[in-house]
Chains A and B, each alone.
Chain A
Amino acid sequence: MSLLNLENLSVAVGTQEILKGIDFAVSPGEVHVIMGPNGSGKSTLAQTIVGNTQYQVTDGSIELFGKEAGNTTPDQRARAGLFLSFQHPVAIPGLPLFNFLYTAYTAQLAGEGDILDEQKKLSVNDFYRTRMLPPMTWLDVPEEMIQRGVNDELSGGERKKTEVLQLAVLEPKLAIIDELDAGLDVDALKMVFAAVNRVFEQRKDTMGLIIITHNQKVLDYITPTMVHVMMDGSIVASGGPEIAQILETEGYKGING
């Protein structure tokens, strides 16, 4: 079963058509890298998949975990197993990251039907010890940062670290990672992708990854199953890592021409 299946997906904001007939599928164990220049529709694709209502599906369909996504809300999709690491994570002052993640974990455990099995629920302490602490170590996230308001007064790099921390803690079945590399130096880039790889390796039997980037360097840190090139709202090429090679040497023109 596919984790995600897009058929002829077309998306508009107001009257402006942004995505034009995307076909795309992800199965467990797969890593898909979506590349393309700024404005090609990559982030729109991510936002549409999570259910951001600013983006209207004008044609085609989104199937998530074997079900038509239809008008399901972003939180329903998340509880079904979807995760998005945001390009620009927003701050929620006064809501400590740890408290928020424990609440999110509890909501996700309750699942789509919103029925919580108290037997399965980890205590706050166990949650901290088994879910939070290991990825905090991989990502070098200090205790103080999880007690602070979500993304509040964090640098761009710190925000990206805590996005990956959330990915590790919430254990989604399908994770979309949007421009994780933006604003990170080489060392930080290595560290966050090492953490992404680690989460994926541990859970690849059931998990899929979509990595959105316009930076070929990302391919030094992650091994894609497939690379897709998006331009002007369409996927113009799909293939193995060799596609990235063409991009590297010839740029996006090499794909088109």
Chain B
Amino acid sequence: MDKTTPKDNAALDALSSYDDRYQEQYGFEDEAAAYEYLSEKGLNPEVIRAISRIKGEPEWMLEKRLKAYEIFLEKPMPAWGGDLSGIDFDNIHYYIRPEKAGNLKATWDEVPDYVKNTFDKLGIPEAERKFLAGVGAQYESEVMYHSLQEELSKQGVIFLSPDEGLKQYPEIFKEYFGTVISARDNKFAALNTAVWSGGSFIYIPKGLKVEMPLQTYFRINTKNAGQFERTLIIADEGSDVHYIEGCSAPIHTTDSLHSAVVEIVVKKGAKVRYTTIQNWSRNVYNLVTKRAVAYENARMEWIDGNLGSKLTMKYPSVYLMGEGAHGEVLSLAFAGSGRVQDTGAKMIHSAPNTTSVITAKSIAKDGGVTTYRGLVRVEPGMTGCRTSVQCDALLLGDDSAGSVSNTYPTMDIREMDTVIEHEAQVSKITDEQLLYLQTRGVDVALARGMIVNGFFEPIIRELPMEYALELNRLVELEMEGSLG
């Protein structure tokens, strides 16, 4: 019996036209891509040894990897969050090394053409010329291009792939690697520790303020790919840096897995802002662990924009370890048809007089699911802490499409002397709002777009202009496939 209703067909049409546009703007696939090493599908100690051998790693790192692999096998899959049953760990290439990887290239001309063309289409070299202090470009498992303004490098800033960081600065690397997020943290942190490749390694010296952002762009090209980058940022006392992460992939019919670990150490009086614009295609599981520790009077800000992927589970955290530390998460999630954005934040107040702010804004449309999942904990005796949590959700499209917005805000406050603010609301675009805007001459689609952009505005205004425009474009791309 044919159970397809006209509404389903409309939904499919909207979806396929969305896919067409995504494919054109972000999802082009490089047929010419050539790989120096493509690990057999599936994971075993041999794959891990091969990764470590090809990279020429020290023994301690191989041991860490192998131990993490054991932990990965032991740990159960998370029983909460989105549906992870579609992940087939045996059907993933865990290490994909493009030809000419290694020996970081500092000019785009040295990078293989297909890699260069991809990043050209994504506008990375142009962004680098205009407003970035440094750029990394990762293709599959390896960082293929890396640059840093000479002046910053002279001042002692380190901005490298972690593979290169491990080679050039083994002491710093060993001192911090895995200290913020251990392999025992969760199954996917263990997996990442076992097979990590690429990412960023950043050190900002004492007192240095890096005016322009550093950015790394992560690209998956092939199907059934696993990308497991590892990022380690150390901001020494009184320093200031803004790091931006972008990503995209072609749409494939089989799934890919992106599982990163990001560790950040924000020392006394330092400030780190980490901005993510996540735009994975609909076949990517995005399961990422991100955590920062912030010491005395330090400030850590996560700006976390999640627009793409099949399922994202990501809860950037700040451990407030020193008095006066401040943590902030601005989270933006957009779940269109068939997508799940299970996102949020964690703030752990482990020192007195620490403050945190969580602002989460999400849109679920045409059957998409957004979940805010957050934890604020104030440890006993940590007096004078303040925390503010605001979660706003907007449901778009036809009611029958079954879009869902969930909110799970856990407040674990073990100290009476704490100031807590918490607000949550779910809303819809009202007919009154649309009519009002229409009576000024804008059509209903534009009116809807303006309301959506207005909804996200408190987060978008925090971004550098170019990224605000990029994010607006991504929101428009999501809105174009709108049914209602």
Contact = CB atoms under 8 A, between A and B. Distances in A.
A224 to B, nearest CB: 23
A54 B440 CA distance: 18
A95 B438 CA distance: 14
Interface in A34-52: 50-52
Given A54-B431, A103-B446, A92 B451 contact: yes
B282 to A, nearest CB: 27
Interface in B410-450: 430-433, 435-444, 446-447, 450
Contacts of B437: 92, 100, 104
B3 to A, nearest CB: 32
Interface string A167-208: 000100000000000000000000000000000000000000
A82 B438 CA distance: 11
Contacts of A82: 439
A107 B441 contact: yes
A166 interface: yes
B454 A95 contact: yes
Interface stretch (B261-269, B270-278, B455-463): B455-463
B388 interface: no
A82 to B, nearest CB: 8
A238 to B, nearest CB: 26
A90 B436 CA distance: 7
A237 to B, nearest CB: 29
B469 to A, nearest CB: 14
Contact of B440 (A73, A78, A94): A78
B441 A84 contact: no
Nearest to A103: B442
Contacts of B430: 90
Interface in A42-93: 50-52, 54, 73-75, 77-79, 82-84, 86, 89-90, 92-93
Contacts of A104: 437, 440-442
A100 B437 CA distance: 9
A51 B436 CA distance: 11
A73 B450 contact: no
A255 B98 CA distance: 88
A224 B431 CA distance: 33
Contacts, number: 79
B186 interface: no
Looking at chain B, what size class is its interface with the partner chain?
20 to 34
B441 A92 contact: no
Contacts of B407: none
Given A75-B444, A92-B433, A107-B446, A50 B454 contact: no
Nearest to A107: B441
A100 B441 contact: no
A117 to B, nearest CB: 15
B453 interface: yes
Contacts of A94: 453-458
Interface string B300-312: 0000000000000
B12 to A, nearest CB: 27
Given A54-B431, A75-B443, A107-B443, A93 B455 contact: yes
Contacts of A73: 438, 443-444
A166 B433 contact: no
Given A73-B444, A92-B450, A95-B453, A84 B438 contact: no
A241 interface: no
A107 B442 CA distance: 6
B359 to A, nearest CB: 12
Contact of A100 (B432, B435, B440, B443): B440
Contacts of A101: 440
A114 B456 CA distance: 28
A149 interface: yes
A108 interface: yes
A93 B390 CA distance: 15
Contacts of B457: 93-95, 149
Contacts of B443: 73, 75, 107
B450 A103 contact: yes
Given A52-B435, A90-B430, A170 B441 contact: yes
A230 B279 CA distance: 57
A89 B436 contact: yes
Contacts of A84: 439
A77 B447 CA distance: 15
Nearest to A50: B439
Interface in B451-484: 451, 453-458
B454 A90 contact: no
A154 to B, nearest CB: 14
18 contacts: A51-B438, A74-B438, A75-B439, A75-B441, A78-B438, A78-B441, A79-B441, A83-B439, A90-B430, A92-B433, A92-B450, A94-B457, A95-B453, A101-B440, A104-B440, A107-B442, A107-B446, A149-B454
Interface of B: 430-433, 435-444, 446-447, 450-451, 453-458
Q: Closest 10 interchain pairs by CB?
A: A94-B454, A94-B457, A95-B454, A74-B438, A78-B441, A104-B440, A75-B438, A108-B441, A107-B441, A90-B432
Given A78-B439, A92-B451, 9 more contacts: A73-B438, A74-B435, A79-B441, A92-B433, A92-B436, A94-B453, A95-B454, A101-B440, A104-B441
Interface of A: 50-52, 54, 73-75, 77-79, 82-84, 86, 89-90, 92-95, 100-101, 103-104, 107-108, 149, 166, 170
